[in-house]
Amino acid sequence: MDINTLFFVESSLFFLFGLTMLVNSLANPGLRGAYWFVASNLAGGVALSLQGARAHLPVTIGIVLSNLLFVTQLVCLNRAVTAFLGRMERMWIAVLGVCMVGMCGVAYFSLVHPDIGVRVAVISAMMAAPALMTAWVLFGPAAPGVRTASRLLGSVFLFFAAVTSVRGYAVYRFHVPSFYFIWLDLIVIAGIAFGFIWMSAAQLREDLERQAMTDPLTGVLNRRAVEREVVELLQRSAKTGGTISALMLDMDHFKGINDRFGHHGGDKALLAVTHAIRRSVRGTDLVARLGGDEFMVVLPDTPMEMARMIAELIRGEVSSLRVQTETHQFQVRVSVGITTLVGQIVGLEDLIKQSDRALYEAKAAGRNRVFPSGEFEPAFMA
C-alpha cells in the first residue's frame, strides 16, 4: 500500500467518525462540544484527501492549504474538549496562535525556501504543541462519570504528541520517510474518536441519572433521590450513634397563590423558596422537594437546637421574599416541622410522618412558624 492510499484511508476514517458523531449529536442535542468534534474530523478528512492528491495539485493547495485545514482540525478538537469539560474554553485562542506561527513556517519552507525536512519538523511542532495543551485540559478535574474516559483521551493526545515529535525529529535528522508513522496515525485517529464518543456516552448517562434524581422545576433532589441518600445517612447514624435532624417545610396558603396568580406565579414562588432554603443550609445538608409545595431538608450531625436555628433562618429568609410576576408582587410564608433522631433505626417514611406531624402542629398554631417535635415516637420505629 503506497503513502497516498494510506492518506485516503485516514481521511475516510475522519469522515466516518465525523458523520457518526454528527448523527449522534442530532439524536442527542445536549452533547457539549460534539459539533466542534464533527468539524475537526471533517477538516482533518479534507486535509488528508488533499495530502493524498498533492502530487496532482499546486503546492499552495496540496501542502499549504492542507496544513491550514490541519490547524483548523486542532483548534476544533481543543474547542470540543474544553466545551465538553466546561473549563479553559478560551484555550483555543492560544492553540490558534501556536498554529498560525507554525503555518508561517510551513508557507515559508514550502513556497519561499522549499525544504522538506524543516517543513516536516515545523509541522510536527505545530501539531504536537496543541495536542499537549489539549491533554493538559483532559487530565484536569472532570466529573466522576467521565473521568476515566477523559484520562484515556488525554493519554491518546500525549501519544499523538510523542509520535508527531519523533516523526519531525526523524525526518529532519535522519531523513526517515514519514510514511512509516502513518500507521500510528491510524491508531491515534481511532483512539481520539472512540475516546470522545466514550466521554459523550458517559456524559449522557450521567445527565440521565441526574435528571432521574432531580426535581425538574427547582433543581433540588426529588423524592426518589432523597430516599436513597437518607437511607445511607440513617444507617450510618444508627451505627455511630449520630444525630440527624429533618425539617419538613410547607408553603402557607399555596393553593391561594396558584388561584390568584396562576401556576406561573406558583412556580416562581417555589423557585424563590428553593433559593431561600439553599442560602440558609450548609453544603452537607440535603434539600429535596417531595411534591407540590412540600420540601424536606435533612441535616446530618445536627442536634435539635441547631436544627431549630436553621429552620428559623429559612423561615426568615422566606418571609423577606417578594415574588414578582408580570403584573403583581406578593409575599410567601412557610411553616416548618422539625424531627431529630439520635442513633435510632427508622425508615424514611417514618421520618416523614413524624416531621409531618410537627409541621401540622406549626400550621395549627397559626402558620409561618417553626415547631419542633418531641422525642421520636415508638409508633414510628422501623
Catalytic center residues: 293
Neighbours of 357 (CB within 10 A): 17
Which grid cell sits at 19? 458523520
Find residue 294's DSSP bridge partners: 250, 291
Which grid cell sits at 197? 464518543
Length of the chain in residues, anyone?
A: 382
> From CA 270, how far away is CA 248, in angstroms rounded?
15
Which grid cell sits at 5? 492510499
Between the alpha carbon of residue 92 and those of residues 89, 97, 128, 219, the distances in Å are 7, 8, 14, 32
How many angstroms separate the first and last alpha carbons of the chain? 73
Q: Which helix (H) or strand (E) holds 77?
A: helix 66-85
Q: What is the DSSP letter of 214?
A: B
> From CA 196, how far away is CA 33, in angstroms rounded?
10
Q: What is the DSSP letter of 376?
A: P
Q: What is the DSSP letter of 366?
A: T
- 8 Å CB contact between 73 and 47: yes
> From CA 41, how far away is CA 58, in angstroms rounded?
24
Determine whether 58 is exposed, middle or buried from the number of CB atoms within 10 Å of its CB (0-12, 13-18, 19+). Answer: exposed
Which grid cell sits at 9? 484511508
